[in-house]
């Protein structure tokens, strides 16, 4: 087990590091126009972060003790297919949720 002092040092270091990363973009270059290539890359931040957050929950879901199961994989595939087909965020989320609940209902 990690002792209390080490935990608080890590929390403080992460907080300070996070503050300085945000300060760099907001405080130092917040009043300047960013180059086009930077703005182009920033548009893809959500597209890169969201799959990174969701993929572990599909492949190693805590609800099943980390075991991959068919309903979550099917729901992920349905979500991807509906998203590519319709380009509608709300419909994509609704279809993915419906596929997950239907899959969990059918499996038992």
The pLDDT, as a whole number, for residue 50 is: 85
Nearest Cα neighbor of 99 from 80, 81, 82, 74 is: 74
Q: Which pTM value belongs to this model?
A: 0.65
Report the SS3 class of residue 68: coil
Report the SS3 class of residue 65: coil
The pLDDT, as a whole number, for residue 11 is: 96
Q: What is the mean pLDDT of each run of 10 residues along the chain (108 residues)?
A: 92 95 82 87 86 91 91 95 95 96 93
Cα–Cα dist 14/18, whole Å:
6
Q: What does the block give as tokens for 85? A: 């087909």
The pLDDT, as a whole number, for residue 26 is: 80
């Amino acid at each position: 087990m990690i002792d209390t002092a080490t935990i608080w040092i890590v929390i403080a270091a992460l907080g300070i590091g996070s503050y300085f990363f945000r300060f760099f973009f907001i405080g130092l270059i917040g009043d300047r126009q960013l180059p086009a290539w930077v703005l182009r890359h920033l548009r893809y931040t959500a597209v890169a972060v969201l799959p990174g957050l969701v993929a572990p929950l599909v492949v190693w879901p805590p609800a099943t003790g980390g075991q991959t199961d068919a309903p979550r994989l099917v729901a992920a595939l349905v979500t991807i297919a509906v998203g590519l087909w319709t380009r509608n965020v709300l419909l994509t989320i609704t279809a993915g949720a419906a596929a997950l609940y239907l899959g969990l209902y059918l499996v038992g």
